Amino acid sequence: MPIELHYIDTGGDATPLVVVHGLLGSADNWRSHLKQWQRRHRVIAVDLRNHGRSPHVDGMGYHAMAEDLLALLDRLGVARAHLLGHSMGGKVVISLARLAPTRVASLIVADIAPLAYGHDHDSVFAALRRVEAGRPSNRREADALLAEHVEESAVRLFLATNLERDDEGILRLRIGLDEIQDDYETIMGEPAGEGAFEGPTLVLRGARSRYVTDEMLPALREVLPRAEIETLEAGHWLHAEQPKAFQSAVNAFLERVEA
Taking the C-alpha atoms of residue 74 and residue 2, their distance in angstroms, rounded to an integer, is 11
Report the C-alpha gap between 94 and 113 in whole angstroms: 9
Within 10 Å of residue 6's Cβ, how many Cβ atoms? Answer: 18
Task: Read off φ and ψ for residue 66, nearest 5 degrees.
Answer: -65, -40
CB count, 10 Å around CB of 186?
16
Please give the order of strands across the beta sheet that includes 201-206: 7-9, 43-46, 17-20, 81-86, 104-110, 201-206, 227-232
Q: Which residues are catalytic?
A: 87, 178, 236
Residues in CB range of 20: below 8 A, 6 or more apart? 45, 46, 48, 69, 83, 84, 85, 86, 89, 90, 92, 93
Q: CB neighbours of 119 closer than 8 A, spacing ≥ 6?
A: 184, 188
Cα–Cα dist 202/254, whole Å: 9
Q: How many residues does the chain have?
A: 259
